[in-house]
Amino acid sequence: MSPLIANAFPTEALLAAAVAGLIASLACGLGALPLGLRQIDPARHAGLGFAVAGGLMIAASVFSLIVPGLEMETAPGSTDGNLLRMIGGLLVGAAFLSVVERYLPEDSHDANGDERFVDWGGRVGLLIFVAMCAHSIPEGIAVGVGYTSDEVLETSTKLGTPLAIAIGIHNIPEGLAVAIPMRSRGVSIARCFWAAVITSLPQPLAAVPAVLLAWFFQPLMPVLMGFAAGAMVYLVVVELIPQALAKERPNRIAWAFMLGFCGMIVIQKLL
């Protein structure tokens, strides 16, 4: 029998998942706020910013998506098949962003000199926006599944609230990655804040159906997490690092990348 039929309609879990996902989305906007400090000149330090964003995104891909996806129990007592699901998701995610990239202009100016996508930080900013939206979907599903863990997945503890708190904190540096290319183009902090929030809106939107269909989404989590990781890794290799190297010396880019990478590891460890 379907878990939806066997159990009462999970109104409380639906509301909790939606609210938790929304709060986690708002937390993403906090990452944009440090760029408003006068000591930081995003236009001057855009190359270093891209490298930091790249480090954050690679670390998030590995430690928040790939490793947990490989270790996840997609059926009680089993992790079999996760490797193939993860690799498939990684390849599809990279292919998806490759297609998106193909349909964007090579630069942010048209024939008349008018700038395109300026409010999104140009081509790189728009690609980061797309990749982060993809990243938010499995996070939202994880929150929704967590809120129904004891009824639907027959675990002893509801994981929704701890997951939502961890994801909300984790979203802050991801919001920084979204805001860096936008701020380097002179976009206001308020716009950067809301753009970062929008990239995380798939979290509450995905959390609600995940509550209703936790039994369906649970086996798909490694694929979805791989998809998000593949999109981000592709973006870092194809856009962020080349853009960074075009603006700064390689050794400075390497250290900025390491700063972002290590910073995300610290956050992950603290959570």
For 203-223, how does the pLDDT look when each residue is reduced to its tens digit (9 = 90+)?
Answer: 888 888 888 887 788 788 889
Residue 122 amino acid letter: G
Of 244 and 81, which is predicted with more confidence?
A: 244
Angle between helices 122-147 and 46-60 (to 10 degrees): 30
117: left (phi over 0), alpha (psi -120 to 50) or beta: left
CA 93/CA 135 separation, integer angstroms: 10
**Model pLDDT for residues 207-263, shown as the tens digit of each residue:** 888 888 877 887 888 898 899 999 999 999 998 899 899 889 999 999 999 999 999
What is the residue extent of each domain of the chain? 7-47+61-106+115-229
Of 24 and 157, which is predicted with more confidence?
A: 24
Q: What is the predicted pLDDT for the residue at 82? A: 85
